[in-house]
């Protein structure tokens, strides 16, 4: 069975940045992240741009971390707390009305 998140051959630094910006790596909210220098700029300026194999490995590792982070996410529910606050408010209103009616 092939992994759906497995990077394709010929991966680029732009694809890695898109993975991070889209939230697929699980380490940030989905939003564009303008940086001072684009991902990979320093490597290219130094004359050693990242090979597609290195980028593919980085994407695979980042997405693996993202899958673990997503699996650990639990739905956040405030239902019981809101129900308790509502009940306390209703009881307080009934008590105030009862004492004002006397």
Please check whether residue 100 lies inside any domain of the structure: no
2 pLDDT band (50/70/90 cuts)?
Answer: very low
Whole-number pLDDT of residue 89: 97
Range of the domain at 24: 13-76
pTM of the full predicted structure?
A: 0.47
Number of domains in the chain: 1
Please check whether residue 4 lies inside any domain of the structure: no
C-alpha distances (whole Å) from 57 to each of 31, 41, 80, 94 are 23, 18, 44, 64
Give the residue from 74, 67, 72 showing the smallest Cα distance to 26: 67
Please check whether residue 61 lies inside any domain of the structure: yes
Q: Is the pLDDT of residue 87 over 90?
A: yes
CA angle (71 as vertex; 35, 31 as ends), nearest 5:
25
Residue 101: alpha-carbon gap to chain centroid: 54
DSSP codes, 8-77: PTT--HHHHHHHHHTTTTSSS-SS----SS-TTHHHHHTT-PPPHHHHHHHHHHHHHHHHHHHHH-----
How many C-beta atoms surround the C-beta of residue 43 within 10 A?
Answer: 14
Token couple for 13: 């630094």
Please check whether residue 95 lies inside any domain of the structure: no
| pLDDT, tens only, 27-86 | 666 666 666 667 777 787 888 888 888 888 888 888 887 776 665 666 667 788 889 999
């Amino acid at each position: 069975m092939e992994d759906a998140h497995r990077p394709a051959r010929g991966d680029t630094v732009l694809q890695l940045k898109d993975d991070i910006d889209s939230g697929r790596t699980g380490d940030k909210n989905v939003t564009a992240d303008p940086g001072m220098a684009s991902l990979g700029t320093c490597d290219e300026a130094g004359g050693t741009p990242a090979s597609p194999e290195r980028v593919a490995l980085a994407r695979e590792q980042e997405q693996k971390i993202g899958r673990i982070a997503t699996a650990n996410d639990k739905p956040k529910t405030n239902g019981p707390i809101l129900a308790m606050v509502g009940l306390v408010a209703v009881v307080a209103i009934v008590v105030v009305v009862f004492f004002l009616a006397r």
